[in-house]
């Protein structure tokens, strides 16, 4: 069965990439999950025909057995749920393509998992982090602009590092980013971010850009210290350095800037639908997790300051 199922998986992954426009990281995660499914089914296979194999051997019970098989100690419920989503997506696609007579996931619920509340930085930590790079070098100007832009817009790190000069309009106060699924959205540039970006564009980026750079590099907004494209790993490393300078000792990531952006907006009274649009969430339920974070923040403040708490 492996060869036939693997061929179906390859076609499905191409569909996700070309027609659905999913990000490369998402495609890679689905590929890994479906490779595990293929190996599991190969151990049970009695035929190499996908249609016959699924009809004879794949049903909801077998798929739940697959998840149980992978549910070793240390495997989170979230990982199991993601694998279920990957398998369900594959078989629904095969059903639509006519490769299956029935969807074996039909009627079987996705395993539930508790949603983890995102961790964020306080306003005081954000202020210290934004001030940490300074403005004394081209890289310092770049990092200040990056931090101000990410906290001021709520953009993902992938969206930020993919920004090009033509997508940026500092004077108008907005930028156009490519979100998940290839969807474009307009994000705001705060007054602080605009000032930092102008400084970087005037005095930082020209000193980082090398003569004869390729067109993709000349078009990119954020460059690395060697005059190339700034990578996620490079930015992670710089961010950790700035966090230490700011006195932030707990783990940090660029996504915490996004979490902080959303939560601070809601705490300031912003409408949930506006925050959803700014974050580029397709489903408002994804945004609603920040209302729980905001409520937790309110409760913590109450417990600290009310005499009867």
Reported in sequence order, the residue ranges of 124-271 that DSSP labels E, i.e. its strands, are 168-169, 174-178, 184-188
Quote the CA–CA distance of 206 and 228 in Å, as a whole number.
12
Which domains are seen in the chain, by residue range? 2-96 (1.10.150), 123-305 (1.10.443.10)
Verify whether residue 174 is a known catalytic residue. no
Of 82, 156, 242, 256, which one is the catalytic site residue? Answer: 156
Give residue 55's pLDDT: 43
Residues forming beta bridges with residue 169, ordered by sequence position: 174
Give residue 115's pLDDT: 58
List, for residues 20-47, the tens digit of each pLDDT value: 777 777 888 889 888 888 887 777 655 4
Is-contact 180 22, C-beta < 8 A?
Answer: yes
Q: Can you spell out the DSSP letters for 87-125?
A: HHHHHHHHHHTTS-SS-TTTTPPPPP-PPPPPP---HHH
Is-contact 156 172, C-beta < 8 A?
Answer: no
Residue 60 pLDDT greater than 70, yes or no? no
Residues forming beta bridges with residue 187, ordered by sequence position: 175
Give residue 16's pLDDT: 87
Give residue 57's pLDDT: 47
Verify whether residue 20 is a known catalytic residue. no
- Mean pLDDT, the chain, integer: 81
Give residue 50's pLDDT: 47
Verify whether residue 302 is a known catalytic residue. no
Q: How sure is the predictor about 51, in pLDDT bands with cuts at 50, 70 and 90?
A: very low
Give residue 189's pLDDT: 93
Quote the CA–CA distance of 16 and 27 in Å, as a whole number.
7
Cβ burial of 229 (10 Å; 0-12, 13-18, 19+) is middle
User: What pTM was estimated for this model as a whole?
Assistant: 0.66
Verify whether residue 14 is a known catalytic residue. no
What would the mean pLDDT of 250-274 be, rounded to a whole number?
88
List, for residues 83-139, the tens digit of each pLDDT value: 777 888 888 888 888 777 666 666 666 555 555 666 789 899 999 999 999 999 999
Of 44, 92, 180, 207, which one is the catalytic site residue? Answer: 180
What would the mean pLDDT of 63-78 be, rounded to a whole number?
59
């Amino acid at each position: 069965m492996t060869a036939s199922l693997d061929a179906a998986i390859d076609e499905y992954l191409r569909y996700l990439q070309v027609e659905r426009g999913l990000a490369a990281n998402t495609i890679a995660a689905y590929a890994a999950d479906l490779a595990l499914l293929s190996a599991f089914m190969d151990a049970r296979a009695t035929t190499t025909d996908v249609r016959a194999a699924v009809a004879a051997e794949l049903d909801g019970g077998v798929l739940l057995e697959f998840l149980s098989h992978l549910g070793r100690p240390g495997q989170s419920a979230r990982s199991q749920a993601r694998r279920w989503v990957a398998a369900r997506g594959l078989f629904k696609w095969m059903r639509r393509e006519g490769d299956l007579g029935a969807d074996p996931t039909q009627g079987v619920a996705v395993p539930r998992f508790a949603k983890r509340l995102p961790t964020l930085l306080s306003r005081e930590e954000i202020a210290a982090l934004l001030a940490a790079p300074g403005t004394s070098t081209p890289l310092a100007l770049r990092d200040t602009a990056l931090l101000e832009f990410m906290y001021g817009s709520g953009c993902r790190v992938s969206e930020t590092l993919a920004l090009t000069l033509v997508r940026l309009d500092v004077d108008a106060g907005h930028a156009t980013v490519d979100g998940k699924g290839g969807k474009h959205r307009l994000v705001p540039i705060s007054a602080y971010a605009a000032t930092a970006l102008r400084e970087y564009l005037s005095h930082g980026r020209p000193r980082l850009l090398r003569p004869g750079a390729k067109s993709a590099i000349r078009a990119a907004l954020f460059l690395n210290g060697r005059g190339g494209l700034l990578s996620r790993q490079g930015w992670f490393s710089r961010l950790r350095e700035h966090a230490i300078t700011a006195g932030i000792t707990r783990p940090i990531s660029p996504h915490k800037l996004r979490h902080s952006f959303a939560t601070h907006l809601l705490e300031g009274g912003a409408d949930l639908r506006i925050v959803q649009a700014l974050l580029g969430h397709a489903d408002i339920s994804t945004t609603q997790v920040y209302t729980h974070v905001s409520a937790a923040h309110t409760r913590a403040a109450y417990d600290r300051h009310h005499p009867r708490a």
